Amino acid sequence: MPVSGSDEKVLPYPMILEEECKGCGRCIQACPKKVLRSSRRVNRRGYIYAEYANSGCTGCAICFYNCPEPYAIEIHKKGKE
Ligand code: SF4
Ligand code: SF4
């Protein structure tokens, strides 16, 4: 499944599963580091999905807890893959 995220496995990072995202923007608004953004691309369901800017994530998971879609965001942290 296509994903939007970083390949970096040492620093924490959010993985946004593009096809699960409905483009509501809650994660973008909620992220305290402002490292999420609109991709400006449309997924197969017609939503402009969110994406990670590829740096700056602290792994706080606030985006995860603000997302209404159960499978749209995964937070990856070192040792917790
Ligand atoms: S885990 Fe925290 S810092 Fe990282 S993208 Fe989500 S809200 Fe932003
Ligand atoms: S909160 Fe969830 S559904 Fe909304 S834009 Fe972010 S990843 Fe997509």
pLDDT in tens, 33-66: 999 999 999 999 999 999 999 999 999 999 999 9
* Residues of the domain holding 59: 3-76
* Ligand at shortest distance from the CA of 30: 1
Residue with tokens 């700056």: 56
* Assigned domain for 81 exists: no
Distance 20 CA to ligand 1 centre (A): 18
* Ligand at shortest distance from the CA of 5: 1
* Assigned domain for 35 exists: yes
What's the CA angle centered on 49, arms 61 and 80, to 5 degrees?
30
Please give the tally of structural domains in the chain: 1
Give the binding-site residues of ligand 1, using a 6 Å CB cut-off.
14, 31, 33, 35-36, 57-63, 75
Alpha carbon distances (Å) from 78 to 12, 14, 71:
7, 12, 20
What does the alpha-carbon distance between residue 42 and residue 56 come to, in Å, rounded to a whole number? Answer: 24
Residue bearing the CA closest to ligand 2, atom 1: 67
pTM of the model: 0.88
Q: Is the pLDDT of residue 74 over 80?
A: yes
